[in-house]
Chain A
């Protein structure tokens, strides 16, 4: 995994990120840098704030304290001189256009075919021509092996196929960064493999990815770095072979031991 330059500017840079829902403090000061081309897998117990953190990165949730930079721009705010001001919804929408997101529940648009789902944002948001968008969409569908499902509606597809279409839809905007929130958790076990295979392909192509998942196997094979979150903090991070084999933090050890027992 030497393709990652260890110096240079990070693509994502989160500093002291805090987020509360009412009195429930979910993120308690997250610091995380992600380098261009890096694949970061976020692990952690349920309720540790993984989804919340991911959603903060594209401003689906507003953070209460700290800052998040993506590709040199602060998400949700603009610093002019010494003065930090909130961006308008329109400007925030513009910032999101370089970030692709894949959801646990797929969230495909059910009234559009697979192809229409994929070209919706490129045509409607990015202003690409319908022909270019369709060509690229067909290329993406071919890559995930679903060319013949181009005109199928989401409900006519299996869960695994829907999630692969959702991945293609996110890729169609040629994102600088891809966020995956437990992309395989809603799938039947026999469908998980096909989605993970698609994601492994992407990881191999140098796409910058932040993946929240419970698939330790995927972390081991495809991640450049594993980040372990617990109680709203990053408690441990490092190369997968180190963190997964020799966790230093007791919470990581406990979490992993449970998984390894489950897998056995």
Chain B
């Protein structure tokens, strides 16, 4: 190349440096944004000024004591049933994957039954357990009884709700967790084995942390379904959020405003859960290519 062309070449290189590039002007996208925003604003305006929604009533009841009590029941049931469901689900998933035919068969049977019958029916059965089994006892099979209780003392609406929700949840979580465990490369189990780790340790330290990446998103789904599934417990006289709202509109006939109270609370809970899920997903994505720079520091702090 001749020396006279050099400055020309330099200038070209500077002009072509992508660091100085501009975004292309995307009129189509701007128009689309403007249109969508206008339509949403208009819709919000219409809803806000529609007297049929009864916003003053919504505001009046939104933090009323009976509603908040119902909200606590919904949240409490969700958390307790989910925690028990995840724990039993994990055990079921491990049993299902084990080489032992007895364990995997029993786990399969459990999952088959609890996924195969409607949750509503399960709740009613738990609630009415005393009509089926008036007494519950621990005894040697076909032998003498060791301890026994009246079923009615054990099964309150609360315990029936927890048993129904958590056992049903366990069946679904078992399949989600099993899928997650299967998604981890077999070489990981092999390396853990080669280092003389016990099965429990390999699961806890190596397999489950990697399986979490594919377990967390569907679990988030389950949790959100669970919040709404708790509204089924109103059939067994548990005063959850929806039940409390119904109790009010059965008296006042303000059905839509009261349902709006419940809807807004459900949406708030879901939003909070979505944000939490995002954090959890980012935590388990550490070590992935493209994970944020900060991640190693966090991992160091929690070895």
Contacts and interface: CB of A to CB of B under 8 A. Distances in A.
B195 A97 contact: yes
B193 interface: yes
B198 interface: yes
A262 B188 CA distance: 33
Contacts of A230: none
Interface in B261-303: 284, 286-289, 291, 296, 299-300, 303
B197 to A, nearest CB: 6
A99 B191 CA distance: 12
B190 interface: yes
Contacts of B185: 107
Q: Which of B196, B206, B209, B210 has the most CB of A within 10 A?
A: B196
* Count class of interface residues, chain A: 20 to 34
Contacts of B205: 109, 120, 124
A96 B296 contact: no
Contact of A96 (B196, B201, B286, B300): B196
Contacts, number: 79
B296 A151 contact: yes
Nearest to A99: B194
B187 A153 contact: no
A38 to B, nearest CB: 21
A4 interface: no
Contact of A153 (B188, B198, B210, B286): B286
Secondary structure at the B interface, as helix, strand, loop or mixed, is helix
Contacts of B195: 96-97, 120-121, 125, 173
Contacts of B188: 107, 109
A3 interface: no
B190 A107 contact: yes
A60 B193 contact: yes
A173 to B, nearest CB: 7
A151 B294 CA distance: 12
A180 to B, nearest CB: 12
Nearest to B291: A153
A96 B198 CA distance: 11
B228 interface: no
A243 interface: no
Given A89-B198, A124-B205, A113 B296 contact: yes
A155 interface: yes
Q: Which of A95, A124, A173 has the most CB of B within 10 A?
A: A124
Interface string B169-212: 00000000000000001011011011111110100011001100
Contacts of B199: 89
A153 B287 contact: yes
A189 B277 CA distance: 42
B177 to A, nearest CB: 17
Interface of A: 58, 60, 89-90, 93-97, 99, 101, 103, 105, 107-113, 116, 120-121, 124-125, 151-156, 173
Given A103-B194, A107-B190, A151-B300, 9 more contacts: A93-B196, A110-B210, A111-B210, A112-B287, A113-B296, A116-B299, A124-B205, A151-B296, A153-B286
Interface of B: 185, 187-188, 190-191, 193-199, 201, 205-206, 209-210, 284, 286-289, 291, 296, 299-300, 303
- List the 6 shortest-distance A-B pairs measured between CB atoms, nearest first: A97-B196, A153-B287, A107-B191, A96-B196, A107-B187, A101-B194
9 contacts: A109-B188, A109-B191, A109-B205, A110-B287, A111-B286, A116-B299, A121-B195, A124-B201, A173-B195
